Structure 1
Amino acid sequence: MAAREATVLLQSKIEAQKQTAHPEHRTLGHAATLSTSMLAGALAGAMAKTAIAPLDRTKINFQTSQIPYSWKAAVDFLIHSARTEGVLALWRGNSATMARIVPYAAIQFTAHEQWKRVLRVDTPASAKQHPIIHLVAGSLAGVTSQSATYPLDLARARMAVTNAQEYRTLTAVFVKVVSTEGFSTLYRGYPATVLGVIPYAGVSFFTYDTLKHTYLEHFGTPQSTIVNVAFGGAAGALAQSASYPLDIVRRRMQTARRRLDGSYPYSSITNTITYVYSTEGWRGFFKGLSMNWVKGPIAVGISFATYDAVKTALRDIALRFS
């Protein structure tokens, strides 16, 4: 009897240690889980995008033009923009980015949690047993969030490549685009975006979760914030490389201006690919990728680390008052 009680007590202690060591093992109600995931995702996206906004604007400038890319040219663009328009110009379009990234990141992280649950890969063991399904969960999360916020992404791209006089506010972008080019223009480049987000989100979430689970198996304790940033950076670098050519295509389609005859220079994915290749060669599909290897890992690292830290803190608070 004493041995039995000792065994029960030991099991209780082990379970308590698990609850303390692994916040993801704690349980919250469905509504509370969604709320914490959405808030954590929103904050993660906002912090990550604000941190790399100047680099993002620089990348978009080269993606949408035929100007040859180099690090010197990128630095010159940053200096010229700061001198002629002011330092804050480096964050031009960031208001549109925030308007998009807050709901985008909130939806993406929450959708990822829900897709993993629906596909039954929401535990380390199940994810390891079904890696392809785990990859699909990340891709579906990306498609879900991108579909819900795409017009905001187009508006951000337009603001990033124009001067302040043309589009002063996010609202001005929507009003002008719809009135002069039609409502459907708000979804130009959407197919290329979805095709690109499938490998990007899939590889990103899959790599980060795999590294986390592997670390936990080897060391037995949750990783620190610094390690989370490193894992997120690795995930971001792989994801950016896998999807970058389609990122070029979508940016060209998003920022293309309608000609006088009503046509567009980039009328379809195939047309855009053909044009970029014929005028710039295969290198045209990778313009700015080296900058993405810097800003991408930083953004993804900050995003994943912030999400995990905020989600854990919010769950602890919710459990304390539940």
Structure 2
Amino acid sequence: MAGGKAMEDPPSNQVDRGLNVLKTAPVNHGKNVPNQHKILTSFVAGGIAGAVAKTTIAPFDRTKINFQVSRNSFSTKAALKFLVNTCRTEGVTSLWRGNSATMIRIIPYAAIQFTSHEQFKILFSKKGQDYLPPAERFLAGSFAGITSTSATYPLDLVRARMAVTKRNTFHSAYEVLVKTYKSEGFLSLYRGYVPTVLGSIPYAGISFFTYDSLKKMHSEQFESEINAFHRMFYGAIAGAFSQSCTYPLDIVRRRMQTAGVIEGREKCYNSILGTIKRITIEEGFIRGMYKGLSLNWIKGPIAVGTSFMTFETVQQFLRRFEIFHE
């Protein structure tokens, strides 16, 4: 009987090896995780976070872009009318037009941004620090914004052009890249790059700074752990604040990005100052440079809050597995 029992039950060490990958450990927020595994988990979690956040607010994003690149005045009523008319004439799914191009861009963008942000925080941190000082918090976010924007910029231009053109103009992101390159030249793929980078420095800096600062305040004021609701709420505040501070540069980059595909604008909006001057003269500074901001106060907090919440939730889930521990 003893021999038969031994044959039925494999040695415990074999079971342990077979189930090793499935074992989990308490969440440790990155402590004792090798840096290469931090990079991997942040990259995966960042890509998922970007995809979830952008898909959630895609209809608002398309609405905002269309008003940003047009001379029509923005209002809540006009935005709702655009949404209704788009659904009637092109179908409900058209509200997500350009979202495939957005995914092609946002997944690597968010993955690179979150990963580089964590690496910059490691670079700026001193031993024993749980949170960076204020200046370093801002710099880590800013450098992460520059890194991700520079790495994926042509894909952002593709998304903007697909969002403001009719369905039969471009059939894929690849087609946008090829047609833009052939008709306007290689440098056209980087139209609006400078205002985008200039905007990403304060935007990412303020966003990450605000989010990390709110988490720091939470840890100092409350004994409870930061949960998914807190991450969503703090991310929403960070998104509203950062987008309000940098919105005019978002208007400028959209005008520059889409000038080549909107009739009559091929030679317009070729420089930052020229674009600002033209918008101000034709539409007024406040009405032109802050067009659609109220819509951004709805979609921005949702997007940023969802992004931060999803990123940290997925990252912590991945880091529970023992394969990511020393």
With normalisation by structure 1, the TM-score equals: 0.89
Letter of the structure 1 residue corresponding to residue 114 of structure 2? F
How far 1:267 moved relative to its partner? Answer: 1.0
Correspondence list, 1:206-285, <5 A: 206-257=209-260, 264-283=267-286, 284-285=288-289
1:201 corresponds to = 204
Return closer, same or farther for 1:310/1:259 CA change in 2, 3 Å cut-off.
closer
1:104 corresponds to = 109
How far 1:23 moved relative to its partner? Answer: 2.5
How far 1:286 moved relative to its partner? Answer: 0.4
How far 1:99 moved relative to its partner? Answer: 0.1
Query: Does the 8 Å CA contact 2:69/2:255 hold for their aligned counterparts?
Result: yes
Name which of structure 1's ranges 115-124 and 295-304 shifts more when overlaid on structure 2.
Answer: 115-124
- After superposition, the C-alpha distances for 1:184-206 in whole angstroms (9 at most, x for unaligned) are 10000000000101111000000
Correspondence list, 1:142-181, <5 A: 142-181=145-184
**Of the candidates 73, 76, 84, which is equivalent to residue 79 of structure 1?**
84
Cα distance in 2, alignment partners of residues 265 and 296 from structure 1: 28
Larger radius of gyration: 2
Name which of structure 1's ranges 113-122 and 26-35 shifts more when overlaid on structure 2.
Answer: 113-122
How far 1:220 moved relative to its partner? Answer: 2.6
Cα distance in 1, alignment partners of residues 246 and 262 from structure 2: 29
Letter of the structure 1 residue corresponding to residue 137 of structure 2? H
Cα distance in 2, alignment partners of residues 135 and 180 from structure 1: 40
How far 1:319 moved relative to its partner? Answer: 4.9
Correspondence list, 1:307-322, <5 A: 307-319=311-323
How far 1:316 moved relative to its partner? Answer: 0.3
**Of the candidates 114, 120, 139, which is equivalent to residue 115 of structure 1?**
120
2:309 corresponds to = 305
3-state SS of 1:23 partner: coil
Query: Does the 8 Å CA contact 1:116/1:122 hold for their aligned counterparts?
Result: no
Letter of the structure 1 residue corresponding to residue 304 of structure 2? V
How far 1:172 moved relative to its partner? Answer: 0.9
**Of the candidates 30, 33, 38, which is equivalent to residue 28 of structure 1?**
33
2:93 corresponds to = 88
Cα distance in 2, alignment partners of residues 286 and 243 from structure 1: 10
Query: Does the 8 Å CA contact 1:121/1:134 hold for their aligned counterparts?
Result: no
3-state SS of 2:320 partner: helix
Cα distance in 2, alignment partners of residues 45 and 169 from structure 1: 20
Return closer, same or farther for 1:26/1:133 CA change in 2, 3 Å cut-off.
closer
For the aligned residues, what is the CA RMSD?
Answer: 2.0
Cα distance in 1, alignment partners of residues 151 and 127 from structure 2: 23
Cα distance in 1, alignment partners of residues 170 and 86 from structure 2: 16
How far 1:125 moved relative to its partner? Answer: 4.9
Return closer, same or farther for 1:258/1:310 CA change in 2, 3 Å cut-off.
closer
How far 1:321 moved relative to its partner? Answer: 7.4
Cα distance in 2, alignment partners of residues 187 and 320 from structure 1: 38
How far 1:320 moved relative to its partner? Answer: 7.3
> Is 1:62 aligned to residue 90 of structure 2?
no
Letter of the structure 2 residue corresponding to residue 92 of structure 1? R
- After superposition, the C-alpha distances for 1:242-292 in whole angstroms (9 at most, x for unaligned) are 110000000000000279999620110010010011111112110000000
Letter of the structure 2 residue corresponding to residue 298 of structure 1? I
With normalisation by structure 2, the TM-score equals: 0.88
How far 1:317 moved relative to its partner? Answer: 1.5
3-state SS of 2:319 partner: helix
Which runs of 5 or more residues in structure 2 are unaligned? 1-24
- After superposition, the C-alpha distances for 1:195-244 in whole angstroms (9 at most, x for unaligned) are 10111100000000111111111113321111110000000000100110
Cα distance in 2, alignment partners of residues 102 and 320 from structure 1: 22
Return closer, same or farther for 1:206/1:122 CA change in 2, 3 Å cut-off.
farther
